[in-house]
Structure 1
Amino acid sequence: MSLSISVVAPASYTDPKTISVAAEALETLGIQARVPASLQVPRRYLAGSVAHRLAGLYDAYDDPDTQAVWAVRGGYGCAQLIEHIDWARLSPKPLIGYSDISVLLDQCYRHGLPAIHGPVMKEAALLSHEAPEQRSAAKCQIEELRELLSGSESAFLPLTRFGDGPVAGEPLGEGPVVGGNLMTLACVAGTAAGFMAPPGALVILEDVGEPYYRLERALWQLVHSGAFDQASAVCLGTFEGCTPYDEASLETIFAELLRPLGVALYSGLPVGHGLHNRPWRYGATGCIDKGRLKLKG
């Protein structure tokens, strides 16, 4: 399947050379990444002012010849756009990304627009990486992304139940699969963009480079803002480069905070900043059965 995708920069600045390498690598897979000349006008660590990044977003959604909108990277800055976006202007093309893009994915879901939690565009540069494992993982993620964009209706992600938890047995009932980067979601708590899991939701969380005490603080913020009050489960993806304080596992810390809510806890999802970042449709209906998170279109 030949794809044409509009590239946007709603968050941090990206080295243009990395973008070029990624675009060239994608062409070898039959994917045209449309990178506008005006993609970035650097401002501090951002890809541009709020007005510039917003204009780029509208242009991408207005392009009649592309099938999706792909964030070039995360980093920081998406939350700044939320109050300014005219959601009625956006066509029903899926937005793709993760990390800081999580806040935009969640807003797309709330406004009835499709979104995919998956690799950012610049990671396609790994298709040219000298390490075979990196090249293979990058190709696998992009092929899985292509399948989702072509209308694939289901996916299966392995996971592991942590402890007995407050919910006895499986399968766990169906609910929308939402979530994303833990620190990003915690940072918008208490704002108009604040994350609130819908009824029965299966919430996926991931992060990178954070010590456990900061992850605990972020989760505490979400728990006490009511973000998980209606959730059925929290499913942990990868927490790449996150450092413990003592012998307590991350699952132990999270279970302690989630237990009073009656929310089941799972871990082991290949989702996040690790080598494998399986793409999934944000808001897709999911259920947990036989050690797998099953997602439907």
Structure 2
Amino acid sequence: MRQDPRPLLSRRTLIGGIAAGAVAAAAQSAPARAEKNKTRKPSKLVPGDLVVVPAPGGPTTAAAVARGIAILEGWGLRVELTEHALDTYGWLSAPDADRLADLQYALDHSEAKAVMTARGGYGTTRIIDEVDFDGLEDHPKLIVGYSDITALHLAVHHHTGLSSLHSPMVAWSSNNTAATAESLRTALMTADPVVLQRDPLEPTAAVEVPGTATGLLYGGNLSLLDAEPDDNHLPDLEDAILFIEDTDESRYKIDGMLTRFTRAGHFDGLAGIAVGQFTPYEHDEYTEGEWTMNEVLMDRLGGLGIPVLGGLKVGHGLDPRVMPLGSEAVLDTDAGTLTIEAAVAD
């Protein structure tokens, strides 16, 4: 995947009522899964709470960050940028040691209630194995981000069991809308369930295998899930719902990533799959046969024998929504919904 607009750098190259009722029903089967994956929730944010902003991946601009800060401050939140959040070092925001120090500072911060990354891009995987997560045990906080930040979500779930938010970041993209912002505010500052509705206009809306599924929701960017070495931080996916999205990846590479997941047994015992936005890759190396992205997704996912729901407005596309991760969820293809417990507690 590639969030950075520079044309020759892709991430793969660099890496090598109803809602409450549904969630309440799912929660009846949650204790065993929670015990298995150690799930717990940080507190919701309230006006006056502090959000710390590191940039563990790629660089961004002060103007984009200022747009996001203005939104957060408009909700009464305080924002602190880490020392190197606005630096640039090649395709990274800063050298590894500086990005690691900034991320560690944010995670350990005794006052912060959330760590919302400045941007994704590439670079979190270069430092994630050096991060100490003990500070989150003493001072639990909400982790907010997506794309390259999938690596951080996975590590946080693995080491602490804390729920988190797959969400646009502080460097506010032009893809984001007022509805995106409201989705973020609700997910940060209320304990209301999140209901994601299949959008018939989303290109992946046709990706579907009928059925219902209940389980803890994990996942994120498919490239980052695929890049996790030796399943280092992958959660236990048995009886779970897996969410996937990606951007700027060729169809044959998506085929390859899903094939590796199958061969590694990651789909074994999975309860269901939720599919978000797969934004186009402009220069697909393989055009023979002219498979569409949806055909690739159905070819690899359609025969797993589990429900699959596509068309969710979550990912790198237009008008995205915020999605809790590590929370109990109900997937229902008849209703076209993914209903998720809040990532935060009252």
Same fold, judged at TM 0.5 (above)? yes
Residue in 2 that maps onto 1:222 = 261
Cα gap change, 1:295/1:191 in structure 2, threshold over 3 Å: closer, same or farther?
closer
Counterparts of residues 141-220 of structure 1 (less than 5 Å): 141-159=180-198, 162=207, 165=209, 170=211, 172-190=212-230, 192-193=232-233, 195-196=234-235, 198-220=237-259
Q: Does 1:22 align with 2:68?
A: yes
Residue in 2 that maps onto 1:116 = 165
Percent identity, please.
27
| Residues 46-83 of structure 1: CA deviation (Å, up to 9, x unaligned) | 12233221211222133333321001111111112222
Q: Distance in 1 between matches of 2:252 and 2:206?
A: 23
* Bigger shift: residues 254-263 or 226-235: 254-263
Shift of 1:192: 2.2
Residue in 1 that maps onto 2:148 = 100
* Bigger shift: residues 252-261 or 174-183: 252-261
Q: Is this contact kept in 1: 2:207–2:311, CA < 8 A?
A: no
Cα gap change, 1:196/1:227 in structure 2, threshold over 3 Å: closer, same or farther?
farther
| Residues 101-130 of structure 1: CA deviation (Å, up to 9, x unaligned) | 01111221122123111111101x64xxxx
Higher strand share: 1
The answer for unaligned runs of 5 or more in structure 1 is 127-133
Q: Does 1:269 align with 2:312?
A: yes
| Residues 11-35 of structure 1: CA deviation (Å, up to 9, x unaligned) | 1122234323432454344343211
SS in structure 2 at match of 1:122: coil
Shift of 1:227: 2.2
| Residues 126-171 of structure 1: CA deviation (Å, up to 9, x unaligned) | 4xxxxxxx6xx433222222222223231111235745x4xxx53x
SS in structure 2 at match of 1:67: strand
SS in structure 1 at match of 2:230: coil
Q: Distance in 2 between matches of 1:180 and 1:69?
A: 17
The answer for unaligned runs of 5 or more in structure 2 is 1-45, 199-204
Q: Distance in 2 between matches of 1:57 and 1:37?
A: 10
Residue in 2 that maps onto 1:249 = 292
Q: TM-score, normalised by structure 1?
A: 0.84
Cα gap change, 1:197/1:263 in structure 2, threshold over 3 Å: closer, same or farther?
farther
Amino acid at match of 1:116: L
Residue in 1 that maps onto 2:341 = 296
Amino acid at match of 2:178: K
Amino acid at match of 2:168: P
Q: TM-score, normalised by structure 2?
A: 0.73
Residue in 1 that maps onto 2:13 = none
Cα gap change, 1:189/1:259 in structure 2, threshold over 3 Å: closer, same or farther?
farther
| Residues 225-282 of structure 1: CA deviation (Å, up to 9, x unaligned) | 2222221222211112236745533232223223454233221001001112211211
